[in-house]
Amino acid sequence: MKEAPKLNIKRSIELFEEAKTLVPGGVLGARKPGDFIMGEYPIFLEYGKGSRLIDVDGNEFIDFLCGYGPIILGYREDEVDDAVIRQIKDKGFCFSLTQPYQNELAKKLNALIPSAELSIFLKTGSDATTAAIRIARAYTGRTKVMRSGYHGWHDWCVEMKGGIPEKFYEDVYEFHYNDLEALEDLMKKHGDQTAAIIMTPFGHPLHQKMQTPKPGFLEGVRKLADTYGAVLVYDEVRTCFRLRMGGAQELYGVKPDLTVLGKGMANGYAISVVCGKTDVMMAAASKLFISSTFFPNSDGYIAALKVIEIMEREKVLDQIWEKGERLLKRIQGIIDRYPNTGAELTGVAPMFHVTFTKGNPETQRDRRTDFYTQMIRKGFFFTPHHHAYLSYRHTEEDLDLTVQAMDESMAYVSEKYKG
């Protein structure tokens, strides 16, 4: 049982200790050390290029977290960055009024996203999901919301409730993905007061196995929304421009009333979108206020237009699906060779997750920790708590090396827990 040597992350730890005197907790949110494996993962990165990351200690990693999803092409994609730099230098990007690229991007989304008739541009996924709920409430005149999935950090949806009065989320009810019966029960109780059903159309719950929709699930949710007059909102922040150019709604053939977009559409530049049916979206024009100094900034528009151009020209998603399907088949083969690890592979080619939910529940967390510790030490940036992404710039060599490291790491876990 050969254990990979521990990484040198001395500089990361020094910077973290300094950060704790400057920033509450040193690092906030999903990037804090406790969301990885304490003492094993770098805390500060220096740079990235293509599919690779370099941390402040000089360690190099093949990256599968992709900035938590925005990096669909690769880090420092020259064609995208050059387009944004030209915009900044030649025309500027932050003004009191909107530049015409808003219209260009909206027309492009209309052509790509099945549900997109009108669009509103924002900066983050949380901005967009919150705007979608406000639009749905204004359109229906109702208050209650049914939700399934992670929708950001704002008061109505964040899991950690510190600092949030209960009245801000008391009208929000959660149901689990693929549990149509639970949603039916909620709608029987609250349907006539429900403004929106918001959900991820592909199941990617936090820390858990990923799920594709069971037969009839998405169709059943659509029917419930129609029956009770609620607005159906798809949170496609992760899935649009990754599962299909038109999102999971294109892949699965069930169209919502509103769609929330973000992450992969601009390869790391800050932009998000609420788009949807004209009658619902028009509530934003007359019944509510959505505004920010930075929402009209054109750097995000330019990046998104260039990313979409590249993805269509190079057939990026076809290549990601092809590479990913081969990769997942090989990973499944590894898991099958080491059944005592309790490992399980879920997801689809562009986004997948290896969990350790099978086997002895007393060792589940330890088995997971040991596997991901070996992987990060070998130079492969996955995380135990979040699914992986595949990018355009992942090479066949990257994937071959990844499979080899996974085989060695799974063998280590299998040997350690063979008793």
| Domains of the chain listed by start with CATH number | 10-75+316-416 (3.90.1150.10), 78-313 (3.40.640.10)
Burial of residue 259 (CB within 10 Å: 0-12, 13-18, 19+) is: buried
The answer to whether 16 and 44 have CB atoms below 8 angstroms apart is yes
Report which secondary-structure segment, H or E, holds 307. helix 298-313
pLDDT of 260 reads 98
Instruction: Quote the tokens at residue 99.
Output: 């530049």
pLDDT-above-90 percentage for the chain: 96
pLDDT in tens, 387-407: 999 999 999 999 999 999 999
Q: Provide the 10 A C-beta neighbour count for residue 70.
A: 23
pLDDT of 208 reads 86
pLDDT in tens, 10-54: 999 999 999 999 999 999 999 999 999 999 999 999 999 999 999
CA distance 238 to 149: 11
pTM comes to 0.96
pLDDT in tens, 179-225: 999 999 999 999 999 999 999 999 998 778 999 999 999 999 999 99
Instruction: Quote the tokens at residue 198.
Output: 């918001």
Residue 377 predicted with pLDDT over 80: yes
The answer to whether 387 and 347 have CB atoms below 8 angstroms apart is yes
Task: Report the chain's mean pLDDT, rounded to a whole number.
Answer: 97
Report which secondary-structure segment, H or E, holds 54. strand 52-55
- The average pLDDT across 334-349 equals 97
pLDDT bin (cut points 50, 70, 90) of residue 419 is low
- The average pLDDT across 55-60 equals 98
pLDDT in tens, 260-280: 999 999 999 999 999 999 999
Alpha-carbon distances of 182 from 17, 119, 233, rounded to whole Å: 46, 31, 18
